[in-house]
Structure 1
């Protein structure tokens, strides 16, 4: 598995926008697929936020993605945020989401941030295993979610 910046593989933007729309559309129902694609265009960079990371086979097969953004749907005063972690169904259970989260933490450390935040409606145990700590619970469009943080540093 390889993890790169979306900036290295911009041809995957349409697939990722569709993944985000399908998986996370219920959290921001007013956003269209086109809106998601336009937002994703802002993440095509390596040395600033927002950024998107892609997990892939190394030979042209996209497996998953994760973004790091300054703000998200909750706790506007905190950031940056690990956001929109998605792994294609045929590749789940292989540690790809964990690898993306770890790389996102490393990218945040590289950019000088001390902490990284996330919210998750259903993967609290995954992130706890990676060293994240829950500090709040919230509702996002009537979906319960746990809000977590972790200190970031190079490993």
Structure 2
């Protein structure tokens, strides 16, 4: 059975999830080493910058998603952010990403936020089908990206 847990309660999985994210979003991490990102991500589990939920089947890590304080330095007035959504390729297509996303939104709602943001370069349509609205298109990381939002109430 797949269960969702806060990564801070399972820190043994933090280096692995951080490595997956570093590889998946390599364009964002072009100027940051894997080691530096792993340290930043681990610290973010404790200081509130990157609290992540992880999907575990027993002790097997399947994916994760984070409720980031800040995920787009050019837009510091916005937040919180859905960030770091990643599911292992062999378990994709089973609704796990959606389950992680919904749980992150529920946590943001529980914390009293009215809306949540994300940015994506290749999953705009996925999020639109799930109720997210495009706020604007912007150029970053050598390509088109979309800033999106979703109301929580």
Please, what TM-score do these two structures have when normalized by structure 2? 0.91
Deviations 1:58-100 (A, max 9, x none): x111111111111113422211111111111111111111111
Task: Provide the residue aligned with 2:78 in structure 1.
Answer: 78
Deviations 1:87-145 (A, max 9, x none): 11111111111111111100101111111000111111221222111111112211211
Please, what TM-score do these two structures have when normalized by structure 1? 0.90
3-state SS of the aligned residue for 1:134?
strand
**Mapped contact 1:20–1:36 kept (Cα < 8 A):** no
3-state SS of the aligned residue for 2:119?
strand
Pairing of 1:36-47 with structure 2 (within 5 A): 36-45=37-46
| C-alpha RMSD of the superposition | 1.6
| Distance in 1 of aligned mates of 2:49 and 2:32 | 21
**Mapped contact 1:115–1:150 kept (Cα < 8 A):** yes
Contiguous gaps of at least 5 residues in structure 2: none
**Mapped contact 2:49–2:70 kept (Cα < 8 A):** no
Task: Provide the residue aligned with 1:97 in structure 2.
Answer: 97
Task: Provide the residue aligned with 2:5 in structure 1.
Answer: 4
Contiguous gaps of at least 5 residues in structure 1: none
| Distance in 1 of aligned mates of 2:4 and 2:111 | 17
Task: Provide the residue aligned with 2:61 in structure 1.
Answer: 62
Deviations 1:3-56 (A, max 9, x none): 1110121110111111011011212311111111112113324x9553111012
Q: Runs of at least 4 residues of structure 1 off by over 4 A?
A: none
Task: Provide the residue aligned with 1:87 in structure 2.
Answer: 87
**Mapped contact 1:85–1:97 kept (Cα < 8 A):** yes
**Mapped contact 1:4–1:55 kept (Cα < 8 A):** yes
- Is 109-118 or 35-44 further displaced after alignment? 35-44
